[in-house]
Amino acid sequence: MSAESSDSIPSAETPRPLKGKRALISGASRGIGRGIALEMAQAGASVTINYHSNPDEAASVVKECEAMGVEAFAIGADISDPDEVQALVAGASDHMGGLDIVVSNAAYSDRHLMLESDMEEFRRTIDVSMWGAFHLVRSGAQQMVDAGNGGNIVVISSPHAHMPMPGAMAYNMAKAANDQMARTAAVELASQRIRVNLIHPGWIDTPGERKFFQEETLRSEGAKLPWGRLGHIREIGRGAVFLCDPKSEYITGSTLTIDGGIQLPWREMYRVEEARRETAAT
């Protein structure tokens, strides 16, 4: 069974741990956000699909979610604009009659060495990936606190939070901030029964990767990873469902890593092979 084989419409026997929950996912018209929306719909949640510049793709995700027997809506908003974020949260709550789950997924990134940075792109990365995440978490939390029913917030961060990847300084900075923001929010919101957790995806097969890499590079380099492939968007979605499942209520302030082992010291396996060769030669 492939990692993407759960796209089918749920049957009566399919577990639906999020049935009755209402979820807002930012940046959900494509990529990881789409995978999260589809998995949450399959788990029974109503979903609001936020998009910025892809309304047709957002409409397609809405149809896919509706086919799973849940309500789904699309709302356009620029996550870097705090006023638009507030309107997004209010609109999602109005459409669904409340808000139980907020997933901060929308991000922006460009690749430049520090000394060659296009500062407009640098600022855009910070505005979307750091400030946008903060404004969504804050607005979503305010909505949940006012409702008084608790809730779940999931922040899609990245191994870039602690791995200083060259050519991605702004993104590295933003994701490091995301991690501390989410953990601080988890402390501050625990008394309100709002859980806040992080997901660190590894190298995931998304349209965004095509901004930086050719198909052949994605295939060849993905095959070199410990698990032998890039990750799939719905694998991240299943992680988000797990964190928001009521059975996971004792998990808050935690980081779920879904990376196929990319952060393991797999490049050091040459040491084992070298030692084997030297032993065999003696």
Among residues 51, 108, 171, 270, which one is catalytic? Answer: 171
Distance of CA 233 to the CA centre of its chain: 9
Burial of 164 (0-12, 13-18, 19+ CB in 10 A): exposed
Exposure of 164 in the CB half-sphere (CA atoms within 13 A): 2
Given a contact cutoff of 8 angstroms between Cβ atoms, the answer to whether 130 and 101 are in contact is: no
Residues 28 and 88: their CA atoms lie apart, in Å, by 13
Distances (CA, A) of 277 to 265, 281, 282: 20, 6, 9
Q: Is 171 a catalytic residue?
A: yes
Q: Which residue has tokens 């896919």?
A: 64
209 Cβ partners below 8 Å, 6+ apart?
203, 218, 230
Residues 161 and 179: their CA atoms lie apart, in Å, by 7
* E-assigned strand segments in 45-145: 46-51, 72-76, 101-104
Q: Which residues are catalytic?
A: 171
